Structure 1
Amino acid sequence: MTEVSSLTGRLLVASPALADPNFDRAVVLLLDHDEEGSLGVVLNRPTPVDVDDILQGWGALAGAPPVVFQGGPVSLDSALGVGVVPGDGADEGRVLGWRRVHGAIGLVDLEAPPELLASELGSLRIFAGYSGWGPGQLEDELTEGAWYVVESEPGDVSSPAPERLWREVLRRQRGELAMVATYPDDPSMN
């Protein structure tokens, strides 16, 4: 098998050609990507469920909107916390209950007491479920043109307007990719 170049920490932005309704206009933050597969969370699928309704004490740390997000179609009964810790990330071990994934973005240990991280977290999102791909599956989808791969920014995790994230991420790209942001919701209405 050929070596896989890691896309951990980057965003997958669904192309208009992607036919899977689970990922229509999705923006996925890749938390892990290697030869064994890929795992990420959809950043722009808020649910109506408040964080405190399922994880007592974490709602106060969750960014607006303080709701649970649907991270993807896999393991919807499990929760993942993704948080941003401001700073250079040089001292990864200084923040207990947080493990760096990429830059200032990391995974939050939801078994830890929320007050342990309260002073350190710049933002937090809670995700029910995740998005997963087996070995080579994501690479095949990339070859088919289902996804655009772009750099993430720490603010993507905590966008206060997640319903606009797909367009905003595309709009900040250079060249033709920025034009995709103007793609209509329903091309048949053009």
Structure 2
Amino acid sequence: MAERTPGAFDRLVERYQERAYRIAWSVLRDREDARDCSQEAFIRLHESAGSFAGQSKFSTWFYRILVNCCLDQRRRRRGWRRLVGWRDQRADAPDEPDPVEQAPAPFTDPVEGLHAERRMSRVWALVDELSPQQRAAVTLSCREGLATKDIAAVLSVSEATVRVHLHRALSTLRRRLGDEG
């Protein structure tokens, strides 16, 4: 990226735009805000490309920029909603599919595939009920495949804190799934 080769930025956008949107959506829970923050993160990335020191993976650095954009947006939104008395609602379009929801692996038995899809939908619905910190840790770990070290860098917390968030989140998910039978 620092080389500024023709098309390099376009390739980065193409490579990371879907993940950026999913992460932004998992933090903000608002389709338009997630799109705006994803775009803003790419703008900030482009403007600060020369400052990437290579001390961490590029993706970790970019995700940190993205999460900072999301946190800025949440602060702005919270202030506005407090001012006008709005309540934070889960989604602005209930019929829109959850972008964090993961499709199950293909099955030869359609009934088994349907059951697996329902289980995954339920798991991700329960993830939505976790605290924002736990939800972010689970999303970055399970959905994006980031290592604990990278999640810690993205969330600006210690690795121990990430492990605590993941442990508590998984314990909560197991308990809630067990309660459902």
Q: What's the TM-score, normalizing by structure 1?
A: 0.25
- The structure with the largest alpha-carbon Rg is 2
Task: From the two aligned structures, give the one with the greater strand fraction.
Answer: 1
Task: From the two aligned structures, give the one with the greater helix fraction.
Answer: 2
Return the structure number with greater relative CO, CA threshold 8 A, min gap 6: 1
